[in-house]
Amino acid sequence: MLLVLRMNRIRLLPEQVANQIAAGEVVERPASVVKELVENALDAKATRITVEIQAGGRSLIRVTDDGIGMNRDDALLCLERHATSKIQRAEDLASIATMGFRGEALPSIASVSRFTLTTRERDSDSPEGTQVIVNGGRIVEVKAAGCAPGTVLDVRQIFFNLPARRKFLRSEETESAHIQHYLTLAALAYPEVAFTFIKDGRVIWQLPGARIENDEARPGSLHERLRALIGGDVKLLQVDYTTELPAVANPENEEETHPSPLRIWGFIGAPGVARSTREDQFTFVNRRPVENRGINFALLEGYHTALMKGRYPVCCLFLEVDPAEVDVNIHPAKREVKFHRERAVREAVAQAVRK
């Protein structure tokens, strides 16, 4: 009698492969690496962030911050998949207040690059920090290193171990433009943080951080930063509009949702100021740069006849709303968001612009 050994068809993927697959979701291109690392720096309460790239981010991406930093244990733990300081339980996903939160970014980036993390805790008495060197997802060396408080992340030769992915990268200029676009968004969302952007050894910008003592100072510092980034000759109008999202019956659990406050503030181009693309249209929800078709339509509705056909407004608008009103989990890169009361938000944005 022959014993037939059946192999299981379903097998657990090795950690390395799982990380590389997750990297496909998190790391589309060098700009996604910059985004994840800058978001972590902002979550770490950095007041200065420097981003340095070479060859459009293919050969080097270095992000340096003066945030709270990490001790040796945290530095090793942050490279484990699903290790995060941002959320603790599933319920936290319903109202996300931090930028990064899935705990996949660092292990994913480290699995497709030659990665060095150097960090030292801001409140530590020791002058020594920790350096972790990772090569394609494998930790090569962990050692003590002298460094300033904060964190430096070096990402070299992205996709060196995935030639198929490397082949899909666009030209250096295109990849640099994507990085610069993301950094513009981050710099607008956080005018109190000083940003330096260095490309191929040349300083592209050096934006000082504004002192924001209270909410009244915020529009002024945003206006300064907008002028620095899109030019001082663009005529801008200030927007500040507060409303309530109306209560709606929720058919799923028979409960009515409560009215929820919504504030829309920022700047829009004066009538006649327009662009042929949406490149100078910046929208944020709770300071997270987002794409939402409803908001795009609402802008056009608000301008109505003040815009020529086929032209797009210049704007930098911030929507402040209860985090539970927004779903940021619908896109792996957290770019697109969905509002639970989509129509009410759209109407409010159109009304704010119209006014």
What 3-state class would DSSP assign to 303?
A: helix
Residue closest to 289 by CA, chosen among 183, 213, 140: 183
pLDDT tens-digit profile of 163-191? 988 998 999 999 999 999 999 999 999 99
Q: Is the pLDDT of residue 92 over 70?
A: no
Which residue in this structure is represented by tokens 């309530």? Answer: 244
Q: Is the pLDDT of residue 352 over 70?
A: yes
Where do runs of H (alpha helix) occur along 148-277? 163-167, 172-189, 217-230
DSSP state for residue 79 in the 8-state scheme: T
Task: Tell me the residue type at 77.
Answer: L
DSSP state for residue 293 in the 8-state scheme: H
Q: Is the pLDDT of residue 96 over 60?
A: no
Residue 215 phi/psi, 5-degree rounding, is -60, -30
Element (H, E) at 52: strand 48-54
Q: Is the pLDDT of residue 143 over 80?
A: yes
- What is this structure's pTM? 0.86
Mean pLDDT, residues 32-36: 94
* Torsion angle of the four alpha carbons 41, 44, 46, 49, in this order, in degrees rounded to the nearest 10: -10
Angle between helix axes 342-354 and 293-303 (nearest 10 degrees) is 30
Give yes or no for a contact between 124 and 71, defined as CB atoms under 8 angstroms apart.
Answer: yes
Mean pLDDT, residues 299-313: 89
DSSP state for residue 226 in the 8-state scheme: H
Q: Is 193 exposed, middle or buried (0-12, 13-18, 19+ CB in 10 A)?
A: buried
pLDDT interval class at 115 (50, 70, 90): very high
Which residue in this structure is represented by tokens 């009215």? Answer: 259
Mean pLDDT, residues 328-337: 70
Residue scoring higher pLDDT (184 or 15): 184
Residue 337 phi/psi, 5-degree rounding, is -130, 160
The percentage of the chain sitting over the pLDDT mark of 90, rounded to a whole number, equals 59
Q: Is the pLDDT of residue 87 over 50?
A: no
What 3-state class would DSSP assign to 23?
A: helix
Q: How far is CA 258 from CA 89, 262, 298, 308, 341, in A?
A: 24, 13, 23, 39, 11
pLDDT attached to residue 17:
72
pLDDT attached to residue 333:
59
